[in-house]
Amino acid sequence: MGLQARCLGTRSTTFESNYRIQIMSTPRILAFAGSARAESFNKKLIAIAADAARAAGAEVTLLDFRELPLPLYDGDLEDAQGIPENAKKLKTLMREHDGFLIAAPEYNSSITPLLKNAIDWASRAESESEPALECYRGKTAGLLSASPGGFGGMRGLVTVRSILGNIGVYLVPDQVSISSAHEAFDESGKLKDARKAKQVAGIAESLVTLTRKLKGS
Ligand SMILES: Cc1cc2nc3c(=O)[nH]c(=O)nc-3n(C[C@H](O)[C@H](O)[C@H](O)COP(=O)(O)O)c2cc1C
């Protein structure tokens, strides 16, 4: 019998009961930026938010899309070769997590092609028996953005929120955008403005709370 099955048994010992609570109440969060750029402001921001989610009790995996390059979605490529290996890896990662923490840059008032492309590949089924939008339905997400501009990328988040909501993701209502991002981080990658840092942590905490509620734990 698997560990989880044993822990869910009705005649569990105190140790097993405690373990069950720990397993069921630890939300697993996949954190990533919508940019692969080495000096990405959104990568700095997501690292801060990931730490805050860990502090709030989540198990967090930080994903860098530089390490998971994906071809541009192309239906002919999919027909000829199936889902690319890295898209399968992304889907596996998404299945293994309960929610997503996303720092999304804004390109021309909208989502970056990298992020949209990743969302699109992960929305594709690998077999006819795979439930539709398996990587998204019932999952949670918290959104952040950073930009050198005055809006901090907040216009792009409108699109990100709309896309994720349409494919079955429950989103934390609040979001935080860091404007003047080129001046916002110190040399160690921390946010200079303590108020902003608190707001970012607040999104991570809300995501953990929402995920726990949806998991029923
Ligand atoms: C094609 C393109 C379009 C952009 N459009 C916007 C925009 O609409 N609003 C904005 O605030 N910044 C815009 N920017 C600037 C990005 O915010 C900036 O490049 C930012 O550093 C990207 O995020 P990153 O640092 O995480 O890679 C644009 C950048 C590019 C390359």
Residue 14 lies in a domain: no
Residue 40 lies in a domain: yes
Residue 7 lies in a domain: no
* Predicted model pTM: 0.91
Along the 217 residues of the chain, how does pLDDT read in single tens digits? 333 333 333 334 444 444 444 455 799 999 999 999 999 999 999 999 999 999 999 999 999 999 999 999 999 999 999 999 999 999 999 999 999 999 999 999 999 999 999 999 999 999 999 999 999 999 999 999 999 999 999 999 999 999 999 999 999 999 999 999 999 999 999 999 999 999 999 999 999 999 999 998 6
Centre of ligand 1 to C-alpha 165, Å, is: 23
Ligand 1: residues within 6 Å at CB? 33, 35, 37, 40-42, 105-109, 147-149, 151, 153
Residue 43 lies in a domain: yes
Number of domains in the chain: 1
CB of 164 closer than 8 Å to CB of 135: no
Query: If we measure between CA atoms, which residue out of 94, 168, 90 comes closest to residue 135?
Result: 94
Encoded amino acid at 131, one letter: P
Centre of ligand 1 to C-alpha 79, Å, is: 33
Closest ligand 1 atom, CA of 151?
11
Looking at residue 64, which CATH number applies to its domain? 3.40.50.360
Tokens of 102: 């996303």
Closest ligand 1 atom, CA of 150?
11
Give residue 67's domain range: 29-215
Residue 139 lies in a domain: yes
